[in-house]
A and B are shown apart, each in its own frame.
Chain A
Amino acid sequence: MIECEDLSKKYNGDFWAVEGVSLTVRPGQILALLGQNGAGKTTTVRMLTALLNPTRGWARVSGYDVMKNPHETRANVGVLTEQHGLYVRMTGEEYLDFFGKVYGLDPGKRRKRTQYLLEYFGLAEAARRRSGEYSKGMKQKLALARALIHDPSVLLLDEPTSAMDPESAQLVRSEIARLRSSQRTIIICTHNLAEAEALADTIAIIYRGRILLNGSLEELKRRVLGPVEYEAKFSEPFDAGELDLPEGVELAYRSGTSLRFRVEAPQVVNPKIVRALTSRNAPLVSFQEVSRKLEQVYLKTMAEAQGVAYAS
């Protein structure tokens, strides 16, 4: 479990890199931390790894206070850093074995974990090659294997699939999903919004050190983009005229072959909308939710934060 309250970090006496960050991530949950470069994602992760001392606030990771028990905190966290950070003159096998020793694994467990991770990430054949000779994707996979070598209960992953080919990225995403199902607590810092959308249970958007938004994807969509929209499509131009719409429904958009409704409580009102359309003999082809991406939420939030117009 990761908990933090009012977590803040000031540099050079006057620059707040992170200010007032409060988060809770439970076991079996993934939180995606989104933000521009320099927004404070890495500083937040470093404070949660007990690498940086918070200027204000507190954080507890895997049950340990990051300030009071930095050693125990680090022992229970697996970190994938922004740069892969591999020792290029070590082979993949040596590298994982070294970090196995660093995390205090006994030789048997070390060997087992090393073999398992090398095989899982498809690096078994390259295990005895120096990591300097690996491709970018292989390096990233080896770095992720390092973060997992001690089977940590908490994972802090900075850009876990950057530089990977689609197959490898998919493999890593499935591994992250598998780790979630085994009750790991995970934070991902990423610029890949599709990945965040696919993996995260909770999303936090950070801007200039402050959390602007925090919640599930659906909550964020509702908060930022407003109520859900549903679109009715017709096989031929249909003049809806003055539709008798139920309470809580607003006609958002109208064209010859489609109508778009803004809906507060879809479970209650959607059947009524469909009934209203069919009672007018509308040539209804489909009635479905208008797809809204995390990207729209993110871009709108950032535009508002920066005081610029959001072009949807």
Chain B
Amino acid sequence: MRRNWDAIWLVARREFTDQFRDWRIVVPMALLVSVFPFIADDTTRQAVNFMNRFGGDLILDNLIPFAILVIGFFPLSFTLVVALEAFVGEKERGTIEPLLSSPLEDKQLYLGKLLVGIATPLVFSYLSMGIYLILVSRRDVQFPSLYMLALIFLLTFAHAVLMVSSAIVISVQATTIRSANLMASFVVVPVAFLLQGETILIFWGNEDVLWFAIVAVTLLSGLLVRLGLAHFKREYLLGREIDNLNIRNVYRVFRDRFVGGAKSFADWYRVEIPITLRQLKQPLAIVIVLGVAAIFAAYAWVVVNVPAYIEFSPERAEDFKSFVENNLVNLDQLGSQLPAPLLFFYNARTTVVFLLLGLISFGTLGLTLYLFNFALVGGVLGAAQLIGFSPILTFLVGVLPHGLFELTAVVLATASMLRVGAVLVSPNTDKSIGETLLLSIADWFRVFIGLVVPLLVVAAVIEIYLTPVLIKMAFPFL
């Protein structure tokens, strides 16, 4: 442990020394740290004056936490360049090979670079935020609580880890500084969106909600660090000299994995699909348990909390019931309003969106959306209970017939998406990150084409043509 830390610190300390001897880093950072808080302070003064004249208490009360968050972000985005250069920069300068030829272990090298990558921008961010706080303390404006300040400092830390860990993943995978800098937008743009989301949370006015952002960003950062460590290979830093997009090779790898050893379509279903399903055992179990839990939790939450929120009474229940009756009057003509192919398309698109979200978040965002969908089912059943419909009957006739196929399809697609994320963050000694991603997407498409699409086709037909009939039969008054 001690030896490990010494080695990590050795790598980090050299980088620190190198950075602080480079005026091209020190001067812009010093300027940014010393000038930007003053500009932000003056902006705060003008904003306070404006809002004192024209109103806007909500903004006024949360202006400083917002400004601190932004001030902390600027040095982070700037020093990202240093992290982006961590490996690919050394590779271009030719200094990486002596280091890689040494007995330093992969994790010591990686964590040393990560440490310095995080520490430098964080020090500059905190300095900048500190200067701003000192400046703004002179103004007649509501100063945020220590708790709020602690949350924002924590969030800035999480941002630093998130940005630097992604930058270092890029730095390990890129073959030139130019390509690394181009890929930086894949870090800066999402984090800028994240910052906007957090700003909404700050202006929402509930400090505790920021914890969600902190936990989410920390989780994502942890997964990124894990991804970086899992796929850090000396070989990839030295083995590739140019970025060749070998479309033919990409296609061949994808096709070989998708088709597997199957000689015919029937063979593919008989042999290959069961292999994929066996690989999905664990994610399937997780997804099913979480999905069922989401249904029950949402059902319970609606039944327990909604009446209090909307001052629920028997009269209001009747109103809701009539509303439902009026709206479901044309249920048997659903097919003309929403054709089955269109419904199939919407559902298939949703599973693809799960995958895309899963890809950028190692499965977490896709899983969140999946849980939200399952929670909706629970919520609908809870609402049915509240207005006097039997939730079990509602489930049996309104959800189960098509849900048997649709929910199975969604569960399979989500489990497969979760596996893509898990495979990405698992160490793989003989495959590159790109190859791993390609293979796991091919696995996802096996599930999608082989199982999800047929299941969704059947589900759409049942939902449009059978479910309305069953609902009419179970609830004749509709």
Residues of A at the B interface (CB closer than 8 Å) are 11-13, 46, 49, 51-53, 71-72, 74-75, 77, 79, 81-87, 89-90, 98-99, 101-104, 143, 146
Contacts and interface: CB of A to CB of B under 8 A. Distances in A.
Given A74-B102, A86-B95, A52 B246 contact: no
Interface in B426-460: 429-430
Contact of A79 (B10, B96, B97): B97
B243 to A, nearest CB: 12
Contacts of A79: 97-98, 101
Contacts of A146: 98
Nearest to B6: A101
Contacts, number: 75
B162 to A, nearest CB: 28
Nearest to B241: A11
Contacts of B95: 85-87
Interface in B88-105: 93-105
Contacts of A12: 244, 246, 249
Contacts of B21: 89
Contacts of B14: 87, 90, 98
Contact of A75 (B93, B103, B429): B103
B178 interface: no
B239 A52 contact: yes
B17 interface: yes
23 contacts: A13-B252, A51-B235, A52-B238, A53-B235, A71-B103, A74-B103, A79-B97, A79-B98, A81-B97, A83-B97, A84-B94, A85-B96, A86-B95, A87-B18, A90-B14, A90-B18, A98-B14, A99-B102, A102-B99, A102-B102, A102-B103, A103-B102, A104-B103
B22 interface: yes
Nearest to B99: A102
A98 B102 CA distance: 11
Nearest to A74: B103
Given A52-B238, A87-B18, A81 B102 contact: no
Contacts of B98: 79, 81, 85, 99, 143, 146
Interface string B41-80: 0000000000000000000000000000000000000000
Given A13-B252, A52-B238, A90-B17, 9 more contacts: A11-B240, A12-B249, A51-B238, A71-B103, A79-B97, A79-B98, A81-B101, A84-B94, A86-B95
B281 interface: no
A7 to B, nearest CB: 15
A154 to B, nearest CB: 12
A83 B94 contact: yes
A11 B239 contact: yes
Contacts of A90: 14, 17-18
Contacts of A71: 103, 105
A130 to B, nearest CB: 8
Contacts of B238: 46, 51-52
Contacts of A89: 17-18, 21-22
Contacts of A101: 10
Contacts of B100: 51
Contacts of A13: 249, 252
Contacts of A98: 10, 14
Query: Interface on chain B toward A: helix, strand, loop, or mixed SS?
Result: helix
A53 B10 CA distance: 26
B103 A103 contact: yes
Contacts of B102: 74, 99, 102-103
A261 B386 CA distance: 113
Nearest to B435: A13
Interface string B241-264: 000101001001000000000000
Interface in B11-47: 14, 17-18, 21-22
| 8 closest Cβ pairs, A-B complex | A83-B94, A75-B103, A79-B101, A81-B97, A89-B21, A85-B98, A102-B102, A85-B95
A75 B105 CA distance: 11
A170 B430 CA distance: 43
Nearest to B103: A75
Contacts of A11: 239-240
Contacts of A51: 97, 100-101, 234-235, 238
Contacts of A77: 101
B95 to A, nearest CB: 5
Contacts of A72: 103
Interface string B95-131: 1111111111100000000000000000000000000
A11 B10 CA distance: 33
A81 B238 CA distance: 12
Nearest to B430: A53
Which residue among A11, A13, A72, A82 has the maximum number of chain B CB atoms within 10 Å of its CB? A13
Given A52-B235, A74-B103, A89-B18, A102 B10 contact: yes
B293 to A, nearest CB: 44
Contacts of B101: 49, 51, 74, 77, 79, 81
A129 to B, nearest CB: 13
Contacts of B99: 102
A92 B436 CA distance: 42
Contacts of B96: 85
A81 B100 CA distance: 11
Contact of B94 (A49, A52, A81): A81
Nearest to B10: A101
Contacts of B18: 87, 89-90
A102 B9 CA distance: 11
Nearest to B105: A71
Nearest to A102: B102
Nearest to B3: A104
Which residue among B100, B102, B238 has the maximum number of chain A CB atoms within 10 Å of its CB? B102
A88 B430 CA distance: 34
A53 B429 CA distance: 10
A122 B99 CA distance: 24
A104 B249 CA distance: 43
